[in-house]
A and B are shown apart, each in its own frame.
Chain A
Amino acid sequence: MRCEHFDVRLQQLLDHRRAPEGDPRLRRHAALCPRCHNQLTATRRLLRGIQLRELPTLDDDFAARVVQRVAPTARPQPRSAWLLVATALAATLLAAVMPQGPHAPHAITRFAPHTPPRSGNSASELAATTAHLPPNTNQPHLEQSWWTVCGTSILELYPEQARLRHRQQVSQLAEELRPIATPFNATVTVLRRTIPFGRPEPKSPPSASLVPRLAQQPSHA
């Protein structure tokens, strides 16, 4: 055995966790080569030194300290899929049992009282918009009245929306806009009182008590 083979063989034995002294070829070569004998001895001392090294013990409350750090941020598992499915099912059932037809207009118009249009242009435009829509066979007059109310409100707030030609768009806009129409008008009025425009406006600063009072006033487009 040559010295370079000695090193390779030594590493192989250590890789398989076998004692180098147990290999007769290594022993024979180490007996003849002082350098490799020194290497074999150093390897044995190294392995012995690793075994002799003491490991200090951890405190008994180590785990408790770890958990104390983690526990405030420990969160339960997210809702499982079955819970999401149950929620969706419940929402579907709720939608199915909700009153429909003639009750719907009253439920929606409850958000804000209907204000008559200030000019006949908007109403006539809406009539032209909804003329082609199929009438409701159950309650045609209520259906007509409801669409008139919604459309009038939209046209008062946003006259440019008179270009709408689809009933679905009118419905979506009405549902989204009517609940916020009154506070929106009040906010716009407050802003107009704060920011000077062309028209003279009172210069008093806006206050919280002003908003409810303005909300009761008729809306101004």
Chain B
Amino acid sequence: MTDNLRHLARRCLAGDQRAMLELVDRFRGQVFGLCYRMLGHREDAEDAAQETFVRALRNLRSWDPSRDFEPWLLAIAGNRCRTALARRMRRPSVCSLVEPVAEHRPDLHAARHLAEEVHLALNTLRPQYRQAFLLFHEQEMSYAAIADVLQCPIGTVRTWIHRARRELIRRLQKREVVESRHAV
């Protein structure tokens, strides 16, 4: 896997466009998933994901092949998302950050309601907490890998994730999501 990735990176550095396509296709899900969860908006997430890959391919020489590629790539994605969030704070967007619920089936509605509440709760977190939480619970990365992505000690990552969980739980309790009658 790692050797294959190194070979792919070498081909990308040589200007092989098919290798670039392969590299983007391999990691597009993870990068876009993180960007979408961080930004909560499809178009913004797509822009951030695209910018992530462009920067990664242009700066592929700076990747140390002795280390994992994924944390390096997700670190770029995290930086892009934080930049987008800072830009959004300067110029608030008028569009809704939550996709509208179109279905009316009770179970589906309850599930989407819960997902939306979690989504909204995540958006209230500090970007570092949110990124650490998503990398752990959604990308299922280890604390060491997250520390590599966020370039901070493992203890800091653990603290951020614990705080993120507590804040999310507090937020869900405050929104009375816990008391929902719909069994999901």
Contacts and interface: CB of A to CB of B under 8 A. Distances in A.
Interface of A: 7, 11, 14-15, 17, 38-39, 41-43, 45-50, 52-56, 58-59, 62-67, 69-71, 73-77
A73 B24 CA distance: 17
B21 A70 contact: no
A7 B163 CA distance: 12
Contacts of A69: 50, 54
Nearest to B13: A77
B115 A70 contact: no
Nearest to B23: A63
B109 to A, nearest CB: 12
A64 B21 contact: yes
Interface string B16-46: 0100110011001000110011000010001
A72 to B, nearest CB: 11
Say what secondary structure dominates the interface of chain A. helix
Contacts of B138: 50
A62 B114 contact: no
Contacts of A66: 20, 24, 50, 53-54, 57
B118 interface: yes
A66 B165 CA distance: 35
A51 to B, nearest CB: 9
A67 B57 CA distance: 9
Given A70-B57, A71-B17, A74-B15, A49 B117 contact: yes
B71 to A, nearest CB: 19
Given A43-B169, A62-B46, A55 B36 contact: yes
B119 interface: yes
A52 B108 CA distance: 10
